Amino acid sequence: MVRIGALLVAALGWHLASTYGFDFFVRFDNVPGPLVVGAEFLAQASSQEFYVHIFHSMLRIAMAYGLAVVTGVVLGVMMGRSRFAEDVILPYIEILRPIPAVAWIPLAILMMPSEQSSIVFITFLGALFPIVINTVHGVDQTSKVLVRAARSLGASNTAILWHVVLPGALPSIVAGLAIGMGVAWFSLLAGEIISGQYGIGYFTWSAYTLVEYPKIIIGMLVIGGLGSLCTLLVRKACAPLLRWQIEGAKS
């Protein structure tokens, strides 16, 4: 209830600022109020094209994020378990990680065979690096005592990985998955704005170029809602894997 109340307070402040043309460093005189935006949202909700934009964005997120999860976790585990793998892979990670998604767009357009694949590639890169870094951190933080104990009991390297290292690294990996989802949405929107023909990012940018201010806010709110929903789904999907944490805290 407190969270809902906080959102209602923000909506009320937005309404008052737009109604009375608040202008103190931040200008609200050209910003449509929540009632105008709500009416436009209802109009868009009855339009099939609006859902086409959402479908394209969700499809790109699903493809890019799925690839990033598999690639990021595998690379992170390799780097965390092997000094040689870390020495080979880490320089690439550290060089490429600071490059923003927008900077990848021209090269992605040149490299990829289609517009869709270029946007997926940009989104994949955005999600990849947080997952890799957090996976490496989680593997590095695994108790060496537990590893030595398992080895002394005759556990193989594969058994140690599956039953000791990965469970111990899971909290950090899950954090990386949640962060990666947020960055994936940021990267997706950058790609859709520059080179997309469909997608919620393209919808928002097109509204800006056509001076349709209510649609801009609708696009922003939909982006925020979908991003939050996807992050929540990631956390809920990973919750059963972290049940041992809750049970350990209760015991």
117-163 pLDDT tens trace:
899 999 999 999 999 999 999 988 877 777 778 778 777 777 887 87
Asked whether residue 101 falls in the same domain as residue 174, the answer is: yes
CATH number for 161: 1.10.3720.10
Residue 217 burial (CB count, 10 A): 22
Which residues neighbour 160 within 8 Å (Cβ) at sequence distance 6 or greater?
147, 150, 151
Asked whether residue 9 falls in the same domain as residue 75, the answer is: no
Our CA angle for 144, 146, 150, nearest 5°, is: 120
Distance of CA 178 to the CA centre of its chain: 7
Asked whether residue 15 falls in the same domain as residue 104, the answer is: no
pLDDT at site 240 = 84
DSSP state of 151: H
End-to-end CA distance of the chain: 31
Asked whether residue 17 falls in the same domain as residue 62, the answer is: no
Inter-axis angle of helices 48-81 and 115-140, nearest 10:
40
User: Of 138, 113, 111, 124, whose CA–CA distance to 71 is shortest?
Assistant: 124
User: Of 115, 139, 134, whose CA–CA distance to 188 is shortest?
Assistant: 115
pLDDT tens by residue, 226-241: 999 999 999 898 888 7
Which segments within 133-185 are labelled E, that is strand? none
Domain count along the chain: 2
Q: Percent of the chain beyond pLDDT 70?
A: 96
Assess contact for 218 and 50: CB atoms under 8 A: no
Q: What is the mean pLDDT of the chain?
A: 87
Asked whether residue 98 falls in the same domain as residue 180, the answer is: yes
- Specify the pTM: 0.87
Average the pLDDT over 39-44 and give the result: 92
Asked whether residue 122 falls in the same domain as residue 3, the answer is: no
User: Of 214, 137, 219, 216, whose CA–CA distance to 172 is shortest?
Assistant: 137
Asked whether residue 20 falls in the same domain as residue 75, the answer is: no
Asked whether residue 123 falls in the same domain as residue 187, the answer is: yes
Asked whether residue 67 falls in the same domain as residue 184, the answer is: yes
Range of the domain at 207: 44-250
